[in-house]
Structure 1
Amino acid sequence: MRGAHDLRYNASYMGVSRSDDVIFIQLTVSNTRSLEQKKELFKRISILLGESPGMRSDDIFVNLVEVAKENWSFGNGLAHYALGDSGR
């Protein structure tokens, strides 16, 4: 099992000054959001985690992995979005 000391990251990548309290958030989402919606999401995550539990915004690293809707299966081996209304 690996510990926190095994995590490697650049403490100043893109001009952001990260501490050892850095967290990494990766969200897998459908590729349906505009650039403005993504910017608002990043800002909101930073605000909320700043309020509670009190994280520094420099220590919040967020990554979106966007996939086409037909690449989702919610169970039973079905590509639910590819089925249209009959998949619900």
Structure 2
Amino acid sequence: MPFVRTSVRKGTSQDRKSQIVAGVHQALIAAIGMPEDELFNMVAEYEPGDFFYDRTFNGIARSDDLVVLEITLRRGRSDAMKRTLYASIASRLEEAGISPKDVFIFMHENDYSDWSVGNGAFAMAIVQQRGSDT
């Protein structure tokens, strides 16, 4: 279950935020086989004066509209899967009008033992089992 933190420049419209979330979600489904119901994406705005970054790091010309995606997920995806995921995210966000140059992605990987996804249950004990709250 990936958990995504999306940071966008203050003043980004709700529609643009929704497009970013949808694009990232669809890329996760397509590239790593994430189930559709695993949507957890927290969007936050940053003030322009509170985020400092190099506009030309690694030879990429970034604008004022940098979108930062921090993805936390269970370890086990290959480098090829990650490469496909990053490209898919950039492509889907470009369809939403965001330059691929302004898409900055990084990942944190961990294990099932590092999660509790509800009811205080240790995720290791419920590994991908679908439950019922009734």
What TM-score do you get using the length of structure 1 for normalisation? 0.83
State the superposition RMSD in angstroms: 2.2
8-17 or 78-87: which moved more? Answer: 78-87
Counterpart pick for 1:55 among 98, 101, 114:
98
The aligned counterpart of 2:59 is 15
Secondary structure of the corresponding residue to residue 9 of structure 1: coil
Q: How many residues align?
A: 86
1:79 aligns with 2:94: no
Q: Which has the larger radius of gyration?
A: 1
**Structure 2: gaps of 5 or more residues:** 1-45
Closer, same or farther in 2 for the Cα pair 1:42/1:4, shift >3 Å?
same
Post-superposition offset of 1:12: 1.3
Closer, same or farther in 2 for the Cα pair 1:55/1:87, shift >3 Å?
closer
What TM-score do you get using the length of structure 2 for normalisation? 0.57
Contact kept? 1:17, 1:58, Cα under 8 Å: yes
Post-superposition offset of 1:6: 1.9
